[in-house]
Amino acid sequence: MNTTPTSTDTPHGLSSRARAEIDLHALRANVATLRARTGGAALMAVVKSDGYGHGALPCAKAALEAGATWVATATPEEALALRAQGVEAPLMCWLWTPGGPWREGVEAGLDMSVSGMWALAEVTAAAREAGRPARIQLKADTGLGRNGCQPADWTELVAAARAAEAEGTVRITGVWSHFARADEPGHPSVQRQLDTFGDMLAHAEREGVDPEVRHIANSPATLTLPASHYDLVRTGIAMYGISPSPEVGTHQELGLRPVMTLSANVALVKGVPAGHGVSYGHTYVTAEETTLALIPVGYADGIPRHASGRGPVLIGGERHTIAGRVAMDQFVVDLGSRKIQEGAEAVLFGPGDHGEPTAEDWARAADTIAYEIVTRIGKRVPRVHLGATDGDGPV
Ligand SMILES: Cc1ncc(COP(=O)(O)O)c(C=O)c1O
């Protein structure tokens, strides 16, 4: 197995403190599982926010190897970085603000999302300057109420985009939207959004739009709603082996395998008397004479402070719960009568095979979603990619 450390700061070999192992074999298997559920639809690998914390480039490469044919990020900067690193597959990004970088996006051949007239004006100006057409995807707000063009403004946007296409400034490569509540299968808003998408798409097609791809499905819709698959599904969280929500199912039920395993090495083990306060605020006080273990990761590493007193950890085959508050760089576990050596491995989360907690367990402990748990693991934690292929060539 090829182990490629890709930390931006500390190589794994130098880090006895903590690491996030990224199992690219699991990611490829997840992509294959998702593809098997989508019939003929293409799969777009969503690798925004550094691949939900897993490393955008190695995850994009692994997903493409496993049959994904598109890659997506939120920001243009993320997409441009992937292009510069050799990702040649169709590459979409959707979070644009006035000022661009539209020109760079045109020149890099990005698929650029357009949600309103201001964006169309800026992208067409950039395409004229660059002397080549921009690839744009029109985004419909079918009910999410976030980015995207409202149905009331759609006629104007489609007409203007078609006019730009007729003069050769843009190519409308996609019409797309995003769900608000697909993680609650059967919620009436999901069907309403699907219907609105159908209507807005039909209008665009009547006006002559002939997109390469029409898409609305994120991971939960990919897993639960075949009618939403259209030409392409945009999967993020499921590709990383995490269930979008308990309502959609557990990762085991969905045939997915968590890709990230976060572990740290115990920094200090010491005996303390009964009645000893632990960590800031002394929210935990030892009930009796006991042994404490210091785990050298904290909220600067993305360990949620909200999980103080609740976050689970596996040490030497046994589960423990954080004692007291999570600090910036460390937290403490009460081992009771157990004997553990400094340097012992503490697994915060992983696939769960060996009794370790999962990111979903941490999400429950911190009153959040597993998306946030993995995405916020900080840069100070080296990523160790297992199963990376060696090729540095174009992907
Ligand atoms: C526009 C858009 N599409 C697709 C996704 C992927 O969603 P998921 O991780 O649920 O698959 C996201 C992520 O939030 C998104 O913002």
Residue 326 is part of a domain; what is its CATH number?
2.40.37.10
Q: What is the 3-state secondary structure (H, E, C) of 196-233?
A: HHHHHHHHHHHCCCCCCEEECECHHHHHHCHHHCCCEE
pLDDT-based confidence at residue 392 (cuts at 50, 70, 90) = very low
The stretches of 47-111 forming alpha helices (DSSP H) are 48-52, 56-65, 76-84, 102-107
Q: How far is the CA of 300 from the centre of ligand 1 (A)?
A: 25
The stretches of the chain forming alpha helices (DSSP H) are 24-36, 48-52, 56-65, 76-84, 102-107, 117-130, 151-166, 188-206, 219-224, 359-365, 370-375
Reading the block at residue 83, the tokens are 């292009």
- Residue closest via CA to ligand 1's atom 14 equals 236
Range of 56's domain?
Answer: 24-240
Does the residue 122 lie in any domain? yes
Residues 192 and 293 in one domain: no
For the whole model, what pTM was predicted?
Answer: 0.94
Question: For the chain, what is the domain count?
Answer: 2
Does the residue 325 lie in any domain? yes
Q: In the Cβ-directed half-sphere of 83, how many Cα atoms lie within 13 Å?
A: 20
For the Cβ of 54 lying below 6 angstroms from any atom of ligand 1, the answer is no
The residues with which 291 forms a beta bridge, in sequence order, are: 271, 336
The predicted pLDDT at position 2 comes to 43
Residues 204 and 135 in one domain: yes
Does the residue 393 lie in any domain? no
User: Could you give the residue numbers annotated as active site?
Assistant: 48, 280
Q: How far is the CA of 306 from the centre of ligand 1 (A)?
A: 24
Going by C-alpha positions, the residue among 283, 350, 351 that lies closest to residue 322 is: 283
Q: Among the atoms of ligand 1, which is closest to the Cα of residue 222?
A: 11
pLDDT-based confidence at residue 389 (cuts at 50, 70, 90) = confident
DSSP state for residue 316 in the 8-state scheme: T
Task: Report the alpha-carbon distance of residue 282 to residue 33 in Å, rounded.
Answer: 47
| Residue 386 phi, psi (nearest 5) | -95, 130
Q: Which residues contact 184 (CB under 8 A, 6 or more apart)?
A: 190, 245, 247
37 is annotated as contributing to ligand binding: no
Residues 67 and 213 in one domain: yes
pLDDT tens track for 178-206: 999 999 999 999 999 999 999 999 999 99
User: Is residue 123 helix, strand or coil?
Assistant: helix
Q: How far is the CA of 356 from the centre of ligand 1 (A)?
A: 27
Going by C-alpha positions, the residue among 269, 271, 359, 353 that lies closest to residue 307 is: 359
Cα 9–15–19 angle (5° rounding)? Answer: 85
Residues 234 and 264 in one domain: no
Does the residue 356 lie in any domain? yes
The predicted pLDDT at position 3 comes to 45
Does the residue 19 lie in any domain? no
Does the residue 382 lie in any domain? no
In which element (H, E) is residue 45 found?
Answer: strand 42-46
Reading the block at residue 112, the tokens are 């650029």
The predicted pLDDT at position 14 comes to 54
Residues 273 and 223 in one domain: no
For the Cβ of 56 lying below 6 angstroms from any atom of ligand 1, the answer is no
Residues 230 and 128 in one domain: yes
Residues 279 and 313 in one domain: yes
The overall average pLDDT reported for the chain is: 95
Q: Count the Cβ atoms, other than its own, within 10 Å of residue 282.
A: 11
pLDDT tens track for 32-78: 999 999 989 999 999 999 999 999 999 999 999 999 999 999 999 99
Does the residue 35 lie in any domain? yes
For the Cβ of 322 lying below 6 angstroms from any atom of ligand 1, the answer is no
Sheet holding 290-295, edge to edge: 3-5, 383-386, 18-23, 260-265, 345-349, 312-315, 318-323, 331-336, 290-295, 268-272
- For 47, 211, 331, the CA distances from 87, given in Å and listed in that order, are 12, 22, 39
For the Cβ of 258 lying below 6 angstroms from any atom of ligand 1, the answer is no
Q: Among the atoms of ligand 1, which is closest to the Cα of residue 237?
A: 9
Residues 195 and 228 in one domain: yes
The CATH number assigned to the domain holding 164 equals 3.20.20.10
For the Cβ of 257 lying below 6 angstroms from any atom of ligand 1, the answer is no
Sheet holding 170-176, edge to edge: 213-215, 170-176, 134-139, 111-114, 91-93, 70-73, 42-46, 232-235
Q: How far is the CA of 216 from the centre of ligand 1 (A)?
A: 10
Residues 83 and 145 in one domain: yes
pLDDT-based confidence at residue 222 (cuts at 50, 70, 90) = very high
pLDDT at 129 over 90: yes
pLDDT-based confidence at residue 324 (cuts at 50, 70, 90) = very high
Residues 138 and 267 in one domain: no
pLDDT at 8 over 50: no
Reading the block at residue 318, the tokens are 């046994």
Using the 3D structure, point to which of 209, 240, 271 is the last residue of a domain: 240
For the Cβ of 218 lying below 6 angstroms from any atom of ligand 1, the answer is yes
Residues 211 and 278 in one domain: no
pLDDT at 10 over 90: no
pLDDT-based confidence at residue 391 (cuts at 50, 70, 90) = low
Residues 353 and 231 in one domain: no
Going by C-alpha positions, the residue among 341, 258, 343, 296 that lies closest to residue 21 is: 258
Burial of 333 (0-12, 13-18, 19+ CB in 10 A): buried
146 is annotated as contributing to ligand binding: yes
Q: How far is the CA of 52 from the centre of ligand 1 (A)?
A: 10
Q: Helices H, strands E: what count in the chain?
A: 11, 20
The predicted pLDDT at position 15 comes to 72
Q: Which residues contact 110 (CB under 8 A, 6 or more apart)?
A: 76, 79, 80, 83, 91, 92, 93, 135
pLDDT tens track for 246-303: 999 999 999 999 999 999 999 999 999 999 999 999 999 999 999 999 999 999 999 9
pLDDT at 141 over 90: yes
DSSP state for residue 181 in the 8-state scheme: S
DSSP state for residue 240 in the 8-state scheme: G
Does the residue 281 lie in any domain? yes
Using the 3D structure, point to which of 192, 209, 240 is the last residue of a domain: 240
pLDDT at 171 over 50: yes
Pocket residue to mutate for ligand 1, from 178, 224, 225, most atoms within 8 A of Cβ:
178
DSSP state for residue 381 in the 8-state scheme: S
Q: What number is the average pLDDT over the span 310-324?
A: 97
